[in-house]
């Protein structure tokens, strides 16, 4: 029999119960110490026996059928709202607005991926990149998820979780048929479940919180626990605009065409025969008699050149009064100010600038459009936070299934790109102004700490961290400069193409020149002065200079003095041989810099020995 102890699809598995327990409440890192320790009195003050707050309700107003009726009415209202949203999408302006919302939420470039992952653990970062881009394929799917979320205000994804590989697929669920269940556990108000109606033969299926990702746009508590659609403010305006457009179209069809009035002289025809006579005239003027060759029947076909709704008026008089006059059409067919008014209100409700929809009548300068772009970007960023929250939930479930625990589950941050370059440039301009003010304030007026706290609004921890990073940057810069100088001094014997100067090497390696002791090349006889005498046997090789070099290298000890025994530690450097008190309190970054500096020195010494050999 197959072992289902770790199968998350089984309700009795250990992994199923652990994930249910993990997502029964908010996932918070409680490692940080609290500033004020809460007492037992404060804790008990906010402990209730029910999640509905029944303690604050009066007994005489309690109705056991009230929740049921409210649920039925709310469910019917939700279905009506979803029907309106689906009908609203047939309007081209609203469909384009939804596409713009989804495009701005999922914007990406070659240099900026769709979802950014910030994690110090490289292994976890690689796992999350595989999940998002390979398993979930967010490059293709995130656009549709974001569009449906903006359309309905809610979007549900069922997570197919495997006990060995984590999340393997995300399956969309019908928005109309999924219910969010809260407050069913009196001991845990945060316990959440989802119920899918019409599943498994109309029986329905209940999912735990970790099995479903619920994208919901919060902000209007009228529809809690569900979200609010981006189209909700435009529902009433859309109905009015639809009715007005239909009325305008009917007016164009009925009143626009020019009509004709036929005055028919009926003479002395009896009153009861006038109608028959008028119909005969109308038939003769607008119908053509066509005989069918096969059947011999007469067919009265409509003459398309005439108008079917002309007026025929019988008249009597002494003289012939038969005449035809033209009746002008509607005079207000070109007046659409009322439609334009409601369309402007629709754009205001959708929060999408008209310039984004390529409206021909949009006359806005760059400044106004830039300000609208920034305000629209803030709306997009609010929707992006909803998407990021659910993506992080997927990542936590995936990491937990793979075996990660505790702080590793919250060791990453996801981010989406800024939808507005203008807003980003405005923020950079704001920072540049702060930097200019800070540079001018430190010129004899204020201290750097005052600038940190007053202008940049930094905390003491941030200030201390910046100062330590500045020290590390200065040390690293000095190490790089020292390495560059050492490399330059070692490469003086090389020309610009990297080849060594053969003339200098020949003279340096010539044993005869070394035996003669010529420090410099001897001048030519024609250029030599009469008093110049070449040095044959230099004395510096046997003198104090040689002994000093040998003593410094440790090959020769003149005496057992403290200076000869402890090279480089005499005089003012002596106290340093006993160590530094603050050495054990150095930060981790500074210790790493010292270790890197020591490795560079050892490498330079090895290169020097190699050159000497």
Task: Of 18-27, 272-281, 287-296, 327-336, give the range with the top mean pLDDT.
Answer: 272-281
Burial class (CB in 10 A: 0-12, 13-18, 19+), 262: middle
* pLDDT tier at 583, thresholds 50, 70, 90: very low
Count of beta carbons in the 10 Å neighbourhood of residue 158 = 18
The token duo for 405 is 């625990």
Arithmetic mean of pLDDT, 278-303: 69
Percent of the chain with pLDDT over 70: 65
pLDDT band at 315 (very low <50, low <70, confident <90, very high): confident
What span, in angstroms and rounded, lies between the C-alpha atoms of 472 and 468?
6
Specify the range with the lowest mean pLDDT, choosing from 128-132, 374-378, 412-416.
Answer: 374-378
DSSP state of 524: P
The yes-or-no verdict on residue 99 having pLDDT over 90 is: yes
Q: What is the mean pLDDT of residues 104-120?
A: 91
Q: How far apart are CA 393 and CA 23, in angstroms?
A: 9
* Range with lowest mean pLDDT among 12-21, 107-116, 432-441, 590-599: 590-599
CA-based nearest residue to 401, from 128, 137, 181: 128
Please state, rounded to an integer, the average pLDDT across all residues of the chain: 75
Which segment, 191-200, 251-260, 363-372, 389-398, is predicted with the most confidence on average? Answer: 389-398
Going by pLDDT thresholds of 50, 70 and 90, the confidence category of residue 496 is very low
pLDDT at 594: 74
Neighbours of 12 (CB within 10 A): 9
Q: Where is average pLDDT lowest: 8-17, 64-73, 314-323? A: 64-73
At residue 608, does pLDDT exceed 80?
no
Distance (Å, whole) CA 548 – CA 322 = 140
In this predicted structure, the answer to whether residue 551 has a pLDDT above a threshold of 80 is no
- Beta bridge pairs of residue 288: 301
Quote the tokens at residue 519. 């420090």
**What is the pLDDT, as a whole number, of residue 363?**
56
Nearest partner of 416 among 136, 98, 117, judged by Cα: 117
| pLDDT tens string 451-484 | 888 888 888 888 888 888 888 888 888 888 888 8
Winning range, highest mean pLDDT, from 248-257, 414-423, 591-600: 414-423
> Are 185 and 51 a contacting pair, CB within 8 Å?
yes
Average pLDDT over residues 46-55: 52
DSSP 296: -
At 411-427, the pLDDT tens digits run 999 999 988 777 777 78
- The larger pLDDT score, comparing residue 240 to residue 317, is at 240
How many Cα neighbours within 13 Å face the side chain of 21?
7
Q: What angle do CA 156, 159, 162 make, to 5 degrees?
A: 175
d(CA 138, CA 146): 11
Contact 193, 186 (CB under 8 A): no
Q: What pLDDT, on the 0 to 100 scale, is given for residue 301? A: 58
Q: What is the DSSP letter of 134?
A: I
Instruction: Encode burial over 48-84: b for 16+ CB neighbours within 10 A, e otherwise.
Output: eeebeeeeeeeeeeeeeeeeeeeeeeeeeebeebbeb
Helix (H, G, I), strand (E, B) or coil at 261: strand
Which pLDDT value is given to residue 597?
78
Residues 6+ apart with CB under 8 A from 35: none
Per-residue pLDDT band at 54 (split at 50, 70, 90): low
pLDDT, mean of residues 303-323: 63
Backbone angles phi, psi at 351, to 5 degrees: 65, 20
pLDDT at residue 62, as a whole number: 47
Residue 110 corresponds to which tokens in the numbers above?
Answer: 């070659």
pLDDT at position 550 over 80: no
For 120, residues 6+ apart whose C-beta sits below 8 A from its C-beta are 411
Residue 580 is predicted with a pLDDT of 42
Q: For residues 380 and 140, give the distance between their C-alpha atoms in angstroms, rounded to a whole number.
A: 19
Question: What is the model's pLDDT at position 127?
Answer: 94
pLDDT band at residue 554 using 50, 70 and 90 as cut-offs: low
Residue 398 C-alpha from the chain's centroid: 20
Q: CA angle at residue 481 from 476 to 485, to 5 degrees?
A: 150
pLDDT beyond 60 at 44: no
Higher-confidence residue of 347 and 522: namely 347
Structure tokens at 473: 């940057």
pLDDT of residue 581: 43
CA distance 581 to 390: 50
The span from the CA of 298 to the CA of 281, in Å, is: 18
Contacts of 594 (CB under 8 A, 6+ apart): 586
pLDDT value of position 138: 94
Q: Which residue has the higher pLDDT, 525 or 250?
A: 250
Rounded percentage of the chain residues whose pLDDT exceeds 90: 24
Instruction: Spell out the alpha helix ranges (H) of 62-190.
Output: 66-88, 92-105, 122-129, 138-152
Please say if the pLDDT value at position 73 is more than 90: no
User: What whole-number distance in Å separates Cα of residue 339 and Cα of residue 345?
Assistant: 10
Place of tokens 């974001």: 146
Q: Please report, for residues 52, 71, 192, 283, the alpha-carbon distance to residue 186 in angstroms, rounded to integers and kept in the order given.
A: 8, 19, 12, 82
Looking at residue 609, what is its pLDDT? 77
- Model pLDDT, residue 506: 45
Of 155, 212, 159, 206, residue with least CA distance to 184: 206
Query: What is the structure's pLDDT at 486?
Result: 83
Smallest CA-to-CA distance from 355 within 364, 346, 367 is with 364
Checking if the pLDDT of 368 tops 80, the result is: no
Better-scored residue on pLDDT, 221 or 342: 342
Tracing tokens 């007016």 back to the chain, one arrives at 251
Per-position DSSP letters for 177-234, written without gaps between them:
GEEEEES--SS-TT-EEEEETT-TTTT-EEEEGGGEEEEE--S-GGGTTS---TTGGG
CA dihedral 269, 274, 276, 280 (to 10 degrees): 80
> What integer pLDDT is reported at residue 249 of this predicted model?
83
Token pair, residue 256, equals 């626009």
Average pLDDT over residues 204-214: 92
**Cβ neighbours for 276, distance < 8 A, ≥ 6 positions apart:** none
Q: Using CA atoms, how far apart are residues 86 and 23, in angstroms rounded to an integer? A: 33
pLDDT bin (cut points 50, 70, 90) of residue 66 is low
């Amino acid at each position: 029999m197959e072992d289902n102890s770790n199968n998350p699809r089984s309700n009795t598995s250990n992994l199923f119960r652990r994930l249910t327990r993990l997502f029964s409440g908010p996932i918070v890192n409680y490692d940080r110490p609290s500033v004020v320790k809460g007492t037992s009195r404060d804790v008990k003050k906010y402990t209730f026996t029910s999640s509905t707050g029944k303690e604050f309700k009066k007994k005489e107003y309690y109705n056991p059928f009230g929740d049921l009726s409210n649920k039925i009415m709310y469910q019917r209202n939700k279905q009506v709202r979803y029907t309106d949203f689906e009908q609203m999408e047939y309007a081209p302006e609203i469909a384009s607005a939804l596409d713009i919302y989804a495009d701005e939420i999922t914007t990406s470039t070659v240099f900026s991926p769709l979802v950014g992952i910030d994690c110090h653990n490289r292994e976890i970062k690689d796992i999350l990149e595989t999940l998002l881009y390979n398993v979930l394929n967010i490059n293709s799917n995130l656009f549709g998820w974001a569009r449906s979320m903006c359309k309905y205000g809610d979007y549900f994804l069922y997570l197919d979780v495997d006990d060995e590989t984590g999340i393997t697929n995300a399956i969309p669920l019908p928005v109309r048929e999924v219910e969010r269940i809260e407050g069913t556990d009196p001991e845990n108000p945060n316990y959440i479940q989802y119920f899918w109606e019409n599943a498994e033969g109309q029986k329905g299926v209940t999912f735990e919180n970790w099995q479903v990702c619920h994208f919901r746009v919060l902000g209007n508590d009228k529809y809690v626990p569900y979200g609010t659609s981006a189209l909700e403010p435009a529902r009433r305006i859309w109905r009015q605009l639809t009715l007005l457009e239909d009325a305008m179209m009917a007016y164009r069809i009925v009143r626009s065409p020019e009509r004709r009035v036929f005055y028919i002289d009926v003479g002395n025809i009896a009153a009861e025969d006038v109608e028959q006579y008028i119909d005969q005239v109308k038939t003769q003027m607008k119908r053509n008699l066509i005989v069918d060759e096969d059947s011999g029947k007469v067919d009265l076909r409509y003459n398309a050149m005439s108008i079917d709704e002309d007026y025929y008026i019988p008249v009597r008089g002494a003289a012939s009064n038969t005449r035809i006059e033209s009746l002008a059409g509607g005079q207000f067919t070109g007046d659409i100010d009322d439609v334009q008014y409601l369309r402007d209100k629709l754009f205001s409700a959708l929060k999408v600038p008209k310039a984004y929809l390529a409206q021909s009548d949009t006359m806005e300068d760059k400044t106004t459009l830039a300000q609208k772009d920034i305000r629209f970007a803030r709306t997009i960023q609010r929707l992006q936070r909803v998407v990021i929250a659910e993506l992080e939930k997927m990542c936590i479930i995936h990491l937990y299934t793979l075996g990660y625990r505790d702080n590793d589950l919250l060791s990453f941050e996801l981010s989406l790109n800024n939808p507005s370059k203008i807003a980003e440039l405005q923020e950079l301009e704001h920072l540049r102004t702060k930097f200019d003010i800070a540079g001018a304030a430190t010129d004899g007026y204020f201290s750097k700490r005052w600038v940190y706290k007053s202008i940049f609004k930094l905390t003491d921890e941030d200030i201390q961290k910046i100062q330590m990073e500045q020290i590390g940057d200065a040390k690293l810069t000095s190490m790089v400069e020292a390495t560059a100088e050492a490399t330059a001094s070692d490469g003086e014997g090389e020309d610009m193409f990297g080849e060594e100067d053969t003339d200098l090497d020949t003279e340096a390696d010539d044993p005869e020149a070394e035996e003669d002791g010529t420090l410099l090349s001897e001048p030519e006889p024609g250029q030599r002065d009469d008093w110049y005498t070449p040095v044959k046997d230099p004395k510096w090789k046997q003198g104090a200079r040689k002994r000093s070099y040998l003593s410094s290298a440790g090959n020769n000890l003149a005496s057992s003095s403290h200076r000869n025994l402890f090279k480089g530690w005499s005089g003012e450097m002596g106290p340093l041989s006993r160590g530094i008190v603050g050495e054990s309190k150095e930060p981790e970054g500074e210790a790493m810099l010292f270790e890197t500096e020591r490795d560079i020195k050892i490498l330079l010494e090895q290169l020097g020995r190699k050159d000497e050999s």
